[in-house]
Amino acid sequence: AINIFFPDIIKEQNRELRGTQRAITRDRAALEKQEKQLELEIKKMAKTGNKEACKVLAKQLVQLRKQKNRTYAVSSKVTSMSTQTKVMNSQMKMAGAMSTTAKTMQAVNKKMDPQKTLQTMQNFQKENMKMEMTEEM
């Protein structure tokens, strides 16, 4: 019963990871927009000669850039998790295929008598040798 629902769990997991990845990308875009606004404000304050405001805004800018870098780290972890989920899914499918193949081979081995197969091969070789001798003569 677990095997039946596992692919659904993997699909759900992949859907959630893609949603998380999109949310991270949106957050990063918003942070980049804020970063540009802060840079413009710092330039304005620098032109007016307000050093204190420039310092405060520069600190905010540094924090904003750190946060943006964290989004890159989280994004790579989410991508890694997605890849691991896909690998697990393919391994599960491969295991299922191997199980089916093993069952098929067992069924064939039960139906096939090794002694009869050996006898058939020997008869074939014998008849083949007769035919070769006849051709040579």
Residues 34 and 27: their CA atoms lie apart, in Å, by 11
- Tell me: the pLDDT tens digits for 15-44? 999 999 999 999 999 999 999 999 999 999
pLDDT for position 4: 52
Among 72, 65, 70, smallest CA distance to 34 is for 65
- Tell me: the pLDDT tens digits for 74-126? 999 999 998 988 888 888 888 888 988 988 888 887 887 778 888 888 999 99
- Is the confidence at residue 2, as pLDDT, over 60? no
Are 85 and 13 in contact, with CB atoms under 8 Å apart? yes
pLDDT for position 41: 94
- pLDDT category, 48, cuts 50, 70, 90? very high
Token readout for 124 is 């074939």
* Domain map (residue ranges) of the chain: 1-110
- Tell me: the pLDDT tens digits for 54-88? 999 999 999 999 999 999 999 999 999 989 888 88
- pLDDT category, 11, cuts 50, 70, 90? confident
Average pLDDT over residues 128-136: 87
Residues 28 and 69: their CA atoms lie apart, in Å, by 9
